[in-house]
Amino acid sequence: MNGHSWYAAGRESVLDAAALDGLVADVGVVEADRFAGCYLELLEQRVAHLHRAAVTADLDEVHEAALSLHVTSVMVGAEGMAGSVAALSEALAAGVLAEVGAALAEIEIIAAVTTGALVARRAVPAGAVA
């Protein structure tokens, strides 16, 4: 996947704690938690939308779905998801269709891992060390 995989060397977590802390600093604990909750509620639907668009080769729809998923993933600190979505977009843009199936499978796996990590992170009281 061109070295953009979420499991790249040196990556210890699928979540970027600094991004989560920055979101809390910007909007407060309650709103950050609400945003993370909405992200989790919509994640499966967004991944399915991206998958359908990629399978049907609707490039405009792929770009729209990927942009939405990428931006919200960055905001919530889901760097693994953001990287995997970027890798899919790059493969499609480059016309490397052989990588698209692998990228979609990776996105579905990282969605599950991200969900678990974000649920665990949200369970930690504000100010506590995760």
In a domain, 129, yes or no: no
In a domain, 11, yes or no: no
- The whole domain housing 77 covers 17-123
In a domain, 97, yes or no: yes
In a domain, 23, yes or no: yes
In a domain, 10, yes or no: no
Residue 67: CATH number of its domain? 1.20.120
Alpha-carbon distance 74 to 95, whole Å? Answer: 25
What is the tens place of the pLDDT at every residue in 91-121?
888 877 778 888 889 999 999 999 999 998 8
Whether 1 has a pLDDT exceeding 50, the answer reads no
In a domain, 93, yes or no: yes
Annotate 16-68 with DSSP letters as a single string. Answer: -HHHHHHHHHHH-HHHHHHHHHHHHHHHHHHHHHHHHHHHTT-HHHHHHHHHH
In a domain, 45, yes or no: yes
